[in-house]
A and B are shown apart, each in its own frame.
Chain A
Amino acid sequence: MSNNHQVLLDVKNLRKFFPIRRGVLQKVVGHVRAVDDVTFYINQGETLSLVGESGCGKTTTARCILRAYDPSAGQVFFRAEDGQVMDVAALPANQLQPLRRQMQMIFQDPFSSLNPRMTLLDIVGEPLLVHGEKAAHKRTERVAELLRLVGLRPEYMRRYPHAFSGGQRQRIGIARALALNPRLVVADEPVSALDVSVQAQILNLMLELQEKLGLTYLFVAHDLSVVKHISERVAVMYVGRIVEMAPTKELFYAPRHPYTEALMSAVPKPDPRLRSERIVLQGEVADPANPPPGCYFHPRCRYATDVCHEKTPVQEEITPRHFVSCHRAKEISLRGVVKK
């Protein structure tokens, strides 16, 4: 990708704790540490994926960046169109609207994310209306352009979502996200509700649009195959923390964190000749309300030593652009995906 490596989004020590309330007085008895000290950046025009299992905090992280949730702590620096860098996490709610033009979201479920009583014109045109485009004919024009862009016929704009298949609906969702020419698009599991034969179409469309419009993607997903396909860099999350972050190929072929290794080995490979020795993690994902001491992964880690029980590992850049939080990252050699 040709870009000048200008950082578009810079997230520093982001935290989001949800209070657990109990009893008649709704006293706070604890916190779910959904996002716990997450730091990463995304360059202009790049795709970074957040990947992890359910409950690891990937969606919460994405929502904090868009200020759908108010972060508990940390900074989210965003470089606006005019080059000015602002801390999204610290902005008062009434100053968020101009920023929201520049950050948009694609949702997971194309069935519940589109209002069944609105036509495509209303759905895709609504962000335009909200952000001040009052002239109806201009909105219609723009909607037609957007529908063409995502591979739908503009004649369809007076129809309702029920007339479209899952893949087409996801295209509508993408058109709506692109209506305001955003610079950052947060895609939360955009293909996981689709049939396998349709997933490829949507992934291709997203790659194409990125090239055409110079978009920056924050891609949230649990499916490693999809993540590998779309991203330039990948951050692996476990119980609210990023355990490893690296350029895609490096992460898949030479992982440095035991959790990344286990996660990749658990993915069933679509080739019966590769029925290999899988690493099956024992036990369950730690409870984010009551995480174990030290490294959160140590109870399931086959490389854990005493230090892992006691000290929380810090994120370290072991080779350029490859970050790992593991005490033993430099001593152990791990198995990645076999190169074909």
Chain B
Amino acid sequence: MANDNKPLLSVRNLKTYFFQDEGTVKAVDSATFDVYPGKTLGIVGESGCGKSVTAQSILRIVDQPGRIVEGTITLTRADGSQVELTGLHPDSEQIRAIRGAEIGLVFQEPMTSFSPVHTVGNQIVEAIRLHCAVGEKEARQRGIEALRSVGIPNPERRIDEYAFELSGGLRQRAMIAVALSCDPRLLIADEPTTALDVTTQAQILDLLRELQKERGMAIMLITHNLGVIAEMADDVVVMYLGRVVEEGSVDDIFHNPKHPYTKALLHSIPSIESTPRIKLPTITGSIPHPYNRPSGCPFYPRCEAYMPGTCDAQEPALLAVDERQKVSCFLYQDR
């Protein structure tokens, strides 16, 4: 990706595995990408592709028995210094100062991510007081401002309500307010609109875009919805079974896709623009169970361009096809 400024977050060769009695699940298997300030990186993939575990790895909140086994995650801090997140202990002072302050997180489920027994205000104030040296009163004032900035009407009253008193859309706005209360430079949004209706989704996406313009923060947007990616992202990473299969600018991914999986995925989605009642091209089979992951390229059993003896024998590397686009497929490289 041609970009002059330095990446804010740089993930190299990240591997996060879950070690279980039944075997090892390679949830993320060598993911590599960069997030730039003020830009939106979209990470797209179906269930089990490792997109959420990637986000958890960056924040170092991977649940047991998961572990980062390899790779580096480098964050450039506000003062220009660089931190290697994989080298930090998950409970250390340092990572806790980054989590929530430099990197904000918005989850999918606005209902379950709020505590049901504390008011929304309680939870915002907690985040603010943890990261900024301010008193109770000042924190509450900032909390009200945060709620106002995400478009919640009547924030002075809403701050004392519980999460269940808010509608889905308002709850997600409150979630974003918590994530943004300490002015993070990177916002990780993990399926931020999946649980919402389309008209509410449009409101939230608009809000994220506005906030980004205002504050110049980077957004890492994780979703399975290609429509949301097309609307929001500047650059896109396509993942399949823990691997990055393709990476490029949003225009290239949608108009000049290279990897057979990206192509098939784009063809198989019913679009609001397509003709009604025609047969859709499909991707045969289903996503393999993580315990019996195919050898070689993980997509070869479902791939139309499968080359016996090559695709099932070795794993393709993610290589550049031109200066903006990278793809991990033997069709585009010398074997």
Which A residues form the contact surface with B (CB < 8 A)? 53-54, 165-168, 195-201, 203-204, 207, 222, 224-226, 228-232, 248-249, 252, 262-275, 278, 280-282, 284-285, 337-340
Whole-angstrom CA separation of A278 from B280 in the bound complex: 27
State the CA gap A261–B293 with chains docked (Å): 44
Q: Which of B197, B272, B273, B280 has the most CB of A within 10 A?
A: B272
Taking a contact as CB atoms under 8 Å apart, the answer to whether B230 and A195 are in contact is no
B201 an interface residue at 8 Å Cβ cutoff? yes
Contact A197 B271 (CB under 8 A): no
Query: Any chain A CB within 8 A of the CB of B184?
Result: no
The reply to whether B227 and A267 contact each other, CB–CB distance below 8 Å, is yes
By a CB distance below 8 angstroms, the chain A residues around B224 are 195-196
Tell me, yes or no, whether B287 is within 8 Å of chain A by CB.
yes
CB neighbours (8 Å) of B197 from chain A are 53-54, 222, 285
User: CB < 8 Å: which of B168, B170, B265 contacts A196?
Assistant: B265
A340–B273 contact, CB under 8 A? yes
Known: A201-B282, A284-B167, A284-B169. A252 touches B272 (CB 8 A): yes
Contact between B230 and A197, CB atoms less than 8 A apart:
no
Assess A269 versus B270: contact at CB under 8 Å? Given A204-B280, A224-B198, A231-B276: no
Contacts of A267 in B (CB 8 A): 198, 227, 272
Cβ of A54 to closest chain B Cβ, rounded Å = 6
Given contact pairs A263-B199, A280-B202, A197 touches B264 in the complex (Cβ within 8 A): yes
Task: Check A273/B282 contact, CB under 8 A, given A195-B287, A266-B201, A280-B206.
Answer: no
Partner of A268, one of B168, B169, B228: B228
Within B236-292, which residues are at the interface with A (CB < 8 Å)?
A: 250-251, 254-255, 264-266, 268-274, 276-283, 286-287
Q: Are A340 and B198 in contact (CB under 8 A)?
A: no
Answer whether A229 and B266 are a contact pair too, CB < 8 Å, given A195-B47, A270-B254, A273-B255.
Answer: no
**Interface contact B251-A272, CB-CB below 8 Å:** yes
B203 CB within 8 Å of chain A: yes
Asked if B286 contacts A167 (CB within 8 A), the reply is yes
Q: In whole angstroms, what is the CA distance A167 to B284 when docked?
A: 11
Among B169, B225, B273, find the residue whose CB has the most chain A CB atoms closer than 10 A: B273
| CB atoms of A266 and B230 under 8 A apart | no
Q: Is the CB of B268 within 8 A of A196?
A: yes
Q: Which listed residue (A195, A281, A337) contacts B273, Cβ 8 A?
A: A337
Is the C-beta of B226 less than 8 angstroms from some C-beta in chain A? Answer: yes
Q: Is the CB of B271 within 8 A of A204?
A: no
B269 to A200, Cβ gap below 8 A? yes
> Which residues of the partner chain B approach A225 to less than 8 Å between Cβ atoms?
227, 269-272, 274
A sample of 22 cross-chain residue pairs with beta-carbon separation below 8 angstroms, ordered by A number, consists of A54-B168, A196-B46, A199-B270, A200-B268, A204-B279, A225-B227, A225-B271, A232-B276, A249-B276, A252-B276, A266-B202, A267-B272, A269-B230, A269-B231, A269-B273, A270-B266, A272-B233, A273-B255, A280-B206, A337-B273, A338-B273, A339-B273
The answer on a CB contact under 8 Å between A281 and B199 is: yes
In the complex, the answer to whether A269 meets B227 with C-beta atoms within 8 Å is yes
Asked if A207 and B277 sit within 8 Å, CB to CB, the answer is yes
Give the docked Cα–Cα distance between A278 and B228 (Å). 13
Task: Please tell me which one of the listed residues A204, A270, A340 contacts residue B282 in the complex, with CB atoms under 8 A apart.
Answer: A204
Min C-beta distance of B148 to chain A, whole Å: 16
**A228:B46 contact, CB within 8 angstroms:** no
B269→A270 contact, CB < 8 A: yes
Does A195 lie within 8 Å of B272, measured CB to CB? Answer: no
Chain B residues with Cβ below 8 Å from A222 are: 197-198
Does A166 lie within 8 Å of B277, measured CB to CB?
no
Given contacts A195-B287, A204-B279, A248-B277, 15 further A-B contacts (CB under 8 A): A54-B168, A207-B277, A228-B276, A229-B276, A229-B280, A230-B276, A232-B276, A262-B199, A269-B231, A270-B229, A272-B230, A272-B254, A275-B231, A281-B202, A285-B197
Does B208 reach chain A (CB closer than 8 Å)? no
Closest 6 CB pairs of A and B: A268-B227, A53-B197, A266-B202, A229-B270, A200-B280, A200-B268
Is B272 in contact with A196, judged by CB distance below 8 angstroms?
Answer: no
Chain A residues lying within 8 Å of B250, measured Cβ to Cβ, are: 272
B205 interface residue (CB < 8 Å to A): yes
Our pick among B200, B251, B279, B286 for the contact of A195 (Cβ within 8 Å) is B286
User: Known contacts A222-B197, A273-B251, A281-B203: does B46 contact A197 (CB below 8 Å)?
Assistant: yes
Q: Which of B251, B254, B274 contacts A340 (CB 8 A)?
A: B274
Chain A residues whose C-beta falls within 8 Å of the C-beta of B265 in the assembled complex: 196-197
The one of A201, A229, A275, A339 in contact with B230, judged by C-beta atoms closer than 8 angstroms, is A275
CB distance from A313 to the nearest CB of B (A): 20
| Contact present for A268 and B225 (CB under 8 Å) | yes
Min CB distance B158 to A, Å, is: 13
Whether B279 lies near A269 (C-beta < 8 A) is no
Cβ–Cβ < 8 Å partners of B286 in chain A = 165-168, 195, 197-198
Nearest CB in chain A: distance from B30 CB, A: 22
The answer to whether B202 touches A278, judged by C-beta atoms less than 8 angstroms apart, is yes
- In angstroms, Cα B288 to Cα A198, docked, is 12
- Output the least CB separation between B139 and chain A (Å): 28
Neighbour of A248 across the interface among B206, B231, B254, B276, CB < 8 A:
B276
The interface residues of chain B lying within 8 Å CB-to-CB of A262 are 199
Given A229-B277, A270-B230, A281-B202, A200-B272 contact (CB < 8 Å): no
- The residue in chain A whose Cβ has the minimal distance to the Cβ of B198 is A266
Chain B residues contacting A230 (CB-CB under 8 Å) are 276-277
Residue with the highest number of chain B CB atoms closer than 10 Å, among A222, A249, A270, A284: A270
Bound form: Cα–Cα A326–B231 in Å: 31
**A200 pairs with B254, CB closer than 8 A:** no
> Which residue, B205, B225, B250, B286, has most C-beta atoms of chain A within 10 A?
B286
